[in-house]
Amino acid sequence: MPPAPGDRDARREDVSETVFQVLADKGFGGLTLRAVAAAMGVSTGMLMHYFPTKRALITHALDLLEKRTAERPRRARPAAGLATVRAMLLDILPLTPSDTARNRIWVGSWDLSLADDDLAADQAGRYTRLRSTLRPHLEAARDLGELPGDTDPEQLAATVVAFTHGLVVQALFDPARFPEETQTAMLDDFLASTARPDRLHGGPGSHPPGLRDVRTTEHGQN
- Helix orientation angle between 97-114 and 5-26, rounded to the nearest 10 degrees: 100
Q: Do 187 and 164 meet the contact criterion of CB atoms below 8 Å apart?
A: yes
Give the number of C-alpha atoms closer than 13 A to the C-alpha of residue 52, restricted to the C-beta side: 1
Give the pLDDT confidence score for residue 126 in this predicted structure: 92
**Cα–Cα–Cα angle for 143, 168, 118, nearest 5°?**
90
Give the pLDDT confidence score for residue 130 in this predicted structure: 95
Give the pLDDT confidence score for residue 204 in this predicted structure: 38
Give the pLDDT confidence score for residue 49 in this predicted structure: 86
Using a 10 angstrom Cβ sphere, with 0-12 exposed, 13-18 middle and 19 or more buried, the burial of residue 38 is: middle
**Cα–Cα–Cα angle for 83, 187, 171, nearest 5°?**
135
Give the pLDDT confidence score for residue 218 in this predicted structure: 41
Q: Do 199 and 206 meet the contact criterion of CB atoms below 8 Å apart?
A: yes
Tens of each residue's pLDDT in the chain, 222 residues: 444 544 666 777 888 888 888 888 888 888 889 999 999 999 999 888 888 988 888 888 888 888 888 888 888 888 889 999 999 999 999 999 989 988 988 898 898 889 999 999 999 999 999 999 999 999 999 999 999 999 999 999 999 999 999 999 999 999 999 999 999 999 999 999 999 877 654 443 343 334 544 443 343 333
Give the pLDDT confidence score for residue 220 in this predicted structure: 36
Give the pLDDT confidence score for residue 211 in this predicted structure: 52
- The residues, ordered by sequence, that sit 6+ positions from 180 with a Cβ below 8 Å of its Cβ are 95
| Closest by Cα among 12, 68, 20 to 42 | 12
Structural domains of the chain ordered from first start = 5-69 (1.10.10.60), 75-218 (1.10.357.10)
